[in-house]
Amino acid sequence: MRRGALLLILILAVCCVSAHAIESTTYTYTTSIDGRFIRTHDAYVPGSVLLRELGLRSPEDIFLQGQEMYIADTGNRRIVRYRMDTGAVEFLGEGLLRQPTGVCVAHDGRIFVADYGASAVVVLSNSGDAVLSTITKPETVLYGAATPYKPQKVAVDSFGNLYVTSEGTHEGILQFDVHGKFAGFFGANKADALSLMEWIQERLFTAEQKARLMLRNPPRIVNLEVPEDNLIYTVTQFRPRQSLKKLNMAGVNILGLGWIFGENNYVDMAVGPGGELFAVTNTGAIAEYDQDGRYLFAFGGRATASDRNGLTSVVSAIAVDRDYTLFVLDKQRGIVQPYVPTEFASSIHQGLAHYAAGRYGDAADIWRDFMRLTPQAAFAHWGYGLAMWQLGEFAQAKYHLELVGDWEYASDAFWELRNAWLMENLGTVLVILIALAVLLRILRAFRKGYSFLKPLEDGWERLKGHSTLLRDVLYVRHMLRHPIDAVYDLRHHLRGSVLSATILYLLALGVWLADSIFTARLFNANAFAYTWQNPLIVTSLVMIPTALFVVGNYFISSINDGEGTFVNVYTVTAYALSAYILATPWITLLSHGLTLNEAFLHALARAVVGGYTFVLVFIAIKEVHGYTVGDTIKNLALTACFMVLAVLAMAILYLMWNQLVRFVVTLIEEVRYLV
């Protein structure tokens, strides 16, 4: 009954909003289980605009403490304090500030202001009419003399420690103790990996040339938030998958997923009552994540043609209260735009709260209703899978977590399932293995006196004797054990043929398709799960490279005194794939019994098979052309270059042909129009 009522509420969520909210002017999107953005019910609707009449000029920051809202009114050189329950407004720090760009309030009522114009952090009394202290550029060896000090954002924890972001400071967040003494840098981002050109410059340029290059500094932190849990949340722009971080006191990112999906140009973030993350771009796009960084939904946007309620112009900051109402600061319009959660968003928050409190059954009920309402929504499968994992329903957990690509939890669920199966069936498995071992020993003993298997063996030998093709295909086993002898036989046409080689190529193609389709999803087999449905993918990934290798190697060997013919190269290359053809199916099967904890075994098996396949190819090319080791390396390198150039040539020809077709089509349309 309760679940039915909740489902009814969710269905009506799109129209059931708070009384002081107005019709939504933006859509809400979430991600589907296959990674697409899909429309869903409105999570938030805009409320009545606040503080329009105050004439805010380019406000840069917003901070909430209880019923009090603080705004850094940058253009008016003041802090605005607004009582949301009474509507009272106060102006703080007038005549004391130059260019306030950040504001926060400590538990004791002190107001900390990042004054960019004064190059200082100004501490105001709670009344805002007195400066208690000013924190200027640290004069210590810990803070370099050339390091800029232009405070932009500020936050304070419950112990009174101060955290500041500064323009041009790439070493991280500036940390000050309760007395305002500089304690060091904190939570710095890592520098980007060197590009190919930068790597070359690093190796070849002189010290003087390097000095003239732009410094390769890590991206700086542009904003921060320190909620009641005293963890430090940071915002970094243009750092894909690392735009938001949750740092512990050691400066380590402890965000559950370790990465963030979505935009990479957030300007601010706020932390909800349950640890949810709300991030906003300067265009007003707002995204919500759970406390581990899982993407829930996004909404909002910029008003391009005219002012519309719910749409913003240029956003500078965001805040959230205990009721999950969002307050977005629009610095171009000089207003605060509230957004009120609908029943849809409130149900999501309730599900997250149930899970965090250990009420996994209640959480599962909510996520189950969401899956009925929006079957493709990834967050619903994610929440339900995690709840099932905690409830011990590992089969359901594994299914739903694999749908959304949470391989770590899915792997743990499979480990539990595998462990339970082994505990239940290990005795039976051992009995069967012992029985098989005993049976094999008995068969071997009887075989010495009674040749009851001899008719089968004789029949198999007669079949091979009558079928040259079967004998040639089975010669792959000899290629594995004695590759040099096998290549000699293939080169001199003692064994193998063009037909048997073609069959081996087809077998290799089939093995590749089966491996890409049937390998366990924990090992990313779904990357090519439907390749067999797309001949273009099969052709481009397998057939074209193989053909280019054979043709290119023959051409290169013809120029470099190679002894092998085209048929020789075609045949020995096919037989060199013996290890891949025979071993890969077993690796595919092995993947279904492993978890991510044993992933190294899967990777090792693939590396061994790939390495031995390369060895076979190397030996085949060396022996068929009569090359030395050095000549073989040269031949393979030139073949690789030929393959790259051939691909580039085909791409250019395709583009030219495409342009020609477009030109002809356009010309025909013009002629038809004129006629």
Quote the pLDDT of residue 541: 73
**Segment among 83-92, 210-219, 425-434 with least mean pLDDT:** 210-219
User: In terms of Cα–Cα distance, which of 159, 153, 146, 193 is closest to 173?
Assistant: 153
pLDDT bin (cut points 50, 70, 90) of residue 666 is: confident
What's the rounded Cα separation, in Å, for the pair 245 and 440? 60
What's the rounded Cα separation, in Å, for the pair 624 and 635? 12
Q: Is 657 left (phi over 0), alpha (psi -120 to 50) or beta?
A: alpha
Cβ-contact 266, 238 below 8 angstroms? no
Q: Which residues of 53-73 are buried (b: 16+ CB within 10 A; e: fewer)?
A: ebebebbbbbbbbeeebbbbb
In this structure, the strands spanning 100-105 and 78-83 are: unpaired
* Structure tokens given for 616: 């076979």
Q: What angle, 0 to 180 degrees and rounded to 10, lies between the N-to-C axes of helices 599-625 and 629-674? A: 100
pLDDT tens digits along 286-328: 999 999 999 999 998 876 555 566 788 999 999 999 999 999 9
pLDDT bin (cut points 50, 70, 90) of residue 210 is: low
Cβ-contact 657, 650 below 8 angstroms? no
pLDDT higher at 355 or 542? 355
How far is the CA of 544 from the CAs of 530, 551, 593, in angstroms?
19, 10, 33
Place of tokens 């269905």: 11
User: In terms of Cα–Cα distance, which of 549, 601, 535, 536 is closest to 577?
Assistant: 549
Q: Report the run of H or E that residue 134 belongs to, with start and end.
A: strand 131-135
Q: Has this prediction a pTM greater than 0.85?
A: no
pLDDT tens digits along 103-127: 999 999 999 999 999 999 999 999 9
User: In terms of Cα–Cα distance, which of 383, 420, 355, 398 is closest to 596?
Assistant: 398
Place of tokens 């019709």: 23
Cβ count near 170 (within 10 Å): 18
Domains of the chain: 56-190+221-326 (2.120.10.30), 467-657 (no CATH)
pLDDT bin (cut points 50, 70, 90) of residue 473 is: confident
Helix, strand, or coil here: 636?
helix
- Percent share of the chain, pLDDT over 70: 88
pLDDT tens digits along 496-544: 899 999 999 999 988 988 888 888 888 874 555 555 556 666 667 778 8
User: In terms of Cα–Cα distance, which of 325, 299, 328 is closest to 313?
Assistant: 328
pLDDT bin (cut points 50, 70, 90) of residue 451 is: low
- Helices H / strands E in the chain, number of each: 19, 25
Q: In what order do the strands lie in the sheet with 131-135?
A: 100-105, 111-115, 120-124, 131-135
What's the rounded Cα separation, in Å, for the pair 110 and 112? 6
What's the rounded Cα separation, in Å, for the pair 558 and 563? 8
Residues 6+ apart with CB under 8 A from 328: 280, 284, 286, 300, 312, 315, 317, 318, 336, 337, 338, 339
Mean pLDDT of the chain: 87
Start-end of H helices in 205-255: 207-212
* Structure tokens given for 518: 């049937």
User: In terms of Cα–Cα distance, which of 235, 229, 223 is closest to 164?
Assistant: 223
pLDDT tens digits along 619-657: 999 999 999 999 999 999 999 999 999 989 988 898 899
Mean pLDDT of 346-362: 95
